[in-house]
Structure 1
Amino acid sequence: MSLADSVLAVNDDLPIRTDKPVHSGKVRSVYWLTDEDSRRLIKQKNYPVAEDTPLAIMVISDRISAFDCIFHGEGGLKGIPGKGAALNAISDHWFKCFAEQGLADSHILDVPHPLVWIVQKARPVKVEAICRQYITGSMWRAYAKGEREFCGITLPEGLQKDQKLPEILITPSTKGILKNISGVPEQDDVNVSRKNIEENVEAFGFESAADIDLYEKLLKEGFAVISKQLETIDQTFVDTKFEFGYVTDDKGQSKLIYMDEVGTPDSSRIWDTKEYQQGRVVENSKESFRQMLLNHFPDPDILLNKDRMGEREALARDNALPLDAMMKVSKTYTELAEKIIGQPLQVSTHPKAEIIEVLKRDYQLVD
């Protein structure tokens, strides 16, 4: 078996029975099950959802994206070995912690394979919520240029790069393009304030104004759960994004849940605590991959300048990254996952064949 065989790069061509187009994102692909299969599985597997809930198979790939491009490595390596399994295992772990501590459930109903979730359809809240415990990245760059207000929150003077903030900040941005909202530009991923959300509850996908308080509570408490546990393995939780949606449970009640992924090296910044205490930032997240790319290519402006997107796409397409750089990222993801879940990570040798077999044998979803 070659290393390339263990990587799941293409995840939208599996023979899973569906009557809708496969939705493929940067990393995950979603297969919506037929109404018949959804009802059958809910009954057979006793999932705690309403009997008419649409279900989907969500398959994560080992692809790695940065600066809105997919990168590949030498030796036909179309992704990072173990990355998908690491992301799934980490998210699943945190979602279970949240449920056990009575915060909220998640969209995951079942984990048939390390690269696969069975999820329930949610009505998404149209806010990508970023929680920040330290000033770094884009926030620091804006602060250094003199900005002091972020999403309606005013920061004090005199903060230093990578410093811990006085309190956890919630800096939401739009998820998708929202139209006809005063003060909110019609484009994806623009910062919004709590006041914007309060004045446009339904437009942002909330079912009641009270749920804005609940969403902030779930953000802060979820962040605290992850931060506290990461401290025990000498990792500092710097910032992360959360996503939420509504589902209807088996009693017909609508409830707010966590969805997408959470607390992963893809969606968060995580620093080595001992290094940070010595005044150095060592990233245990995708940020280290971004920094490697900026150092690897002679003209980093191509990666940073949105006006050079064509050149950037050509750069990602035409350049195989060094194998040792790809394996370093693999080590970061898999070692962090194993520390978080407290056991060895299950990594596939022939992922596509394994996924097809388990979905056929145990779920009757492959003809």
Structure 2
Amino acid sequence: MNSLRIEEQLGHTLRATNLDNLGTRYQGKVRDTYRQDDRLILVTTDRISAFDHVLPQTIPFKGQVLNQTAAHFFEATEDLVPNHVLSVPDPNVTVARACRPIPIEFVVRGYLAGHAWRAYRDGARTLCGQPLPDGLRESEKLPEPILTPTTKAEEGHDQDVTREEAIAQAHIDEETFDQLAEWALKLFRRGSNMAAEQGLILVDTKYEFGRTPNGELVLIDEVHTPDSSRYYYKNGYEERLERGEPQRQLSKEFVREWLMDHGFQGEPDQEIPDLPDAFRLKVTERYAELYERVTGESFEPVPHPDPEQRIQEALEDYEVVADR
């Protein structure tokens, strides 16, 4: 990717949108979401978060990378599971069907890593009701992928739940849960095969589902992106496992490491450091690398002096923008 084009975009990133003619805006950490009747306009901005905080500076083209990565995998899995995507009229925008989210994250794990490893290390041999054999090592492949659902907590962290607890807390029936669980495992198998083709291992990931106004269940949010998934590099995996060394990960962990090196881990008394322009450029290059590695396609940024104006024009061409 042309480094000059990235540098020129430093002063023209998409921090936020104020597209009032789209309706009421809901601003998340990364996305600005607008609702129009039965449609959602999801704008992925260049904001970046870490340790549950939005950082003060933006990352050029980050929104394009994430939106296009999600679009790539939604298209690659639509033969398995219906999803909410209607169109991607702009590199930063997805137009989707409005859905009522199922308040469960369907987390699928193929390897013992992260939270699952920490629980196992501390003696747990079941996770969300799923049995785990003795003798596993950190990052080791599980006998079979397992589903470890979580529910969204109103305060604090998401909570692990069993199948029965998820059904009760989400107010869904057994048939619905089992359908979504089956879909999650199918998606994970597809994602694992696609990752292997790129020399990667899909370690674990989460899937979110919703129900359309007519009652159809569909895949929502994002799928198989590095923000929602953990990937290892396949090359050298077995050697690192045998030596007990940390695996090489394909993720945005390097941003968290930079923040920790500069004294920030999200604690209340810590001040978020400013990201120097040189580091912002490096982050852009890493995100482009993430896109190319997981999709196998070249990332082609779309620069613009006013990304919000470009988005407005794209939505007008798509006939999404309401009459002013």
**TM-score over 0.5 for the pair:** yes
Contact conserved, 2:110 with 2:145, CA < 8 A, in 1? yes
Q: Distance in 1 between matches of 2:104 and 2:216?
A: 16
Indicate the larger mover: 214-223 or 151-160: 151-160
For residues 124-203 of structure 1, the aligned pairs below 5 Å read 124-177=101-154, 189-198=158-167, 200=168, 203=169
Indicate the larger mover: 281-290 or 266-275: 281-290
Contact conserved, 1:126 with 1:204, CA < 8 A, in 2? yes
Structure 2: 5+ residue stretches without partners: 1-6, 241-245
Instruction: State the match for 1:290 in structure 2.
Output: 256
Instruction: State the match for 1:256 in structure 2.
Output: 217
Are 2:312 and 1:356 equivalent residues in the alignment? Answer: yes
Instruction: State the match for 1:41 in structure 2.
Output: none
Q: 1:65 to 1:187 in 2, by over 3 A?
A: closer
Are 2:230 and 1:269 equivalent residues in the alignment? Answer: yes
Instruction: State the match for 1:30 in structure 2.
Output: 33
Contact conserved, 1:284 with 1:333, CA < 8 A, in 2? no
Instruction: State the match for 1:39 in structure 2.
Output: none
Contact conserved, 1:9 with 1:63, CA < 8 A, in 2? yes
State the shift of 1:194 in Å: 0.7
Residue type matched to 1:233 in 2? Q
Secondary structure of the 1:321 match is coil
The RMSD of aligned alpha carbons is 2.3
Instruction: State the match for 1:334 in structure 2.
Output: 288
C-alpha offsets along residues 94-141 of structure 1, whole Å, 9 cap, x if unaligned? 111221x3x221111111101011111112111012111111122222
Contact conserved, 1:28 with 1:61, CA < 8 A, in 2? yes
State the shift of 1:187 in Å: 6.4
Contact conserved, 1:338 with 1:345, CA < 8 A, in 2? no
Instruction: State the match for 2:14 in structure 1.
Output: 8
Are 2:281 and 1:344 equivalent residues in the alignment? Answer: no
Q: Distance in 2 between matches of 1:67 and 1:281?
A: 21
State the shift of 1:324 in Å: 4.3
C-alpha offsets along residues 74-110 of structure 1, whole Å, 9 cap, x if unaligned? xxxx2222221111111111111221x3x22111111
Q: Distance in 2 between matches of 1:242 and 1:138?
A: 17
Secondary structure of the 1:292 match is helix
Q: Distance in 2 between matches of 1:160 and 1:324?
A: 38
Instruction: State the match for 2:243 in structure 1.
Output: none
Instruction: State the match for 2:52 in structure 1.
Output: 68
Residue type matched to 2:198 in 1? I
Q: What percent of counterpart residues are identical?
A: 33
Q: Distance in 2 between matches of 1:144 and 1:322?
A: 38
Are 2:173 and 1:226 equivalent residues in the alignment? Answer: no
Q: Distance in 2 between matches of 1:329 and 1:284?
A: 13
Q: Distance in 2 between matches of 1:118 and 1:342?
A: 22
Q: Distance in 2 between matches of 1:325 and 1:364?
A: 36
C-alpha offsets along residues 5-32 of structure 1, whole Å, 9 cap, x if unaligned? 3421123x224332xx311111111111
Q: Distance in 1 between matches of 2:315 and 2:83?
A: 22
Q: Distance in 1 between matches of 2:259 and 2:109?
A: 24
C-alpha offsets along residues 170-199 of structure 1, whole Å, 9 cap, x if unaligned? 11111354xxxxxxxx8661111012134x
TM-score by length of 2: 0.87
Secondary structure of the 1:142 match is helix
Instruction: State the match for 1:109 in structure 2.
Output: 86
Q: Distance in 2 between matches of 1:338 and 1:195?
A: 39
Q: 1:259 to 1:197 in 2, by over 3 A?
A: same
Q: Distance in 2 between matches of 1:273 and 1:349?
A: 37
Are 2:70 and 1:91 equivalent residues in the alignment? Answer: yes
Q: Distance in 1 between matches of 2:247 and 2:15?
A: 31
Contact conserved, 1:30 with 1:58, CA < 8 A, in 2? yes
Q: 1:176 to 1:153 in 2, by over 3 A?
A: same
Indicate the larger mover: 89-98 or 147-156: 147-156
Q: Distance in 1 between matches of 2:43 and 2:134?
A: 45
Q: Distance in 1 between matches of 2:232 and 2:288?
A: 15
- Consecutive aligned runs of 4 or more in structure 1 exceeding 6 Å deviation: none
Contact conserved, 2:46 with 2:58, CA < 8 A, in 1? yes
Contact conserved, 2:198 with 2:296, CA < 8 A, in 1? no
Structure 1: 5+ residue stretches without partners: 36-53, 73-77, 178-185
